[in-house]
Amino acid sequence: MFQNCDKYLEFATLIDQLQFDVAQIEVNSHEIKLDLVHLQQFFREQIVSLPDIDSLEQPYRTEISKQLHLLEMDVMFFQAARQPITAKNRLKSIAERLGLIRKYVSSGLDQKIIQ
């Protein structure tokens, strides 16, 4: 399904790195924001710009784009959290959203391997 699997694999690696950063005991909100910006930039420059999009790939790209936007909101809410419990809940939301994005990437790659 995905035309350039190597770009999606690289994107998945960036997602994994951000998931790792979010899971740390001492979470650095600035580092998470930088990782997010890098993830979004990679998606825009390396994936959205890919030519010859497969009609089955477009819904994945659309959903990943939507989830990246929501992830940005989650990170903003995390950065604004003042109470430790609120920050913990925001990190949980970020981790769940990253897991969802990762599932979309994995599902698309699995479909490509099957074809």
Q: In this structure, which amino acid lies at residue 111?
A: Q
Q: Tell me, which fold does domain 5-114 have in CATH? A: Four Helix Bundle (Hemerythrin (Met), subunit A) (1.20.120)
**pTM of the prediction?**
0.87
Structure-block tokens of residue 1: 């399904």
pLDDT in the model for residue 105 = 93
pLDDT at 2 over 70: no
pLDDT at 114 over 80: no
What is the per-residue pLDDT across 23-46, written as a single tens digit (0 to 9) for each?
987 888 899 999 999 999 999 999
* Helix runs in 1-115, H state only: 5-22, 29-42, 58-80, 84-114
pLDDT in the model for residue 48 = 86
CA 14 from chain centre, in angstroms, equals: 8
Q: Contact at 8 Å (CB) between 22 and 32?
A: yes
Q: How far, in Å, CA of 1 to CA of 5, rounded? A: 9
pLDDT in the model for residue 3 = 61
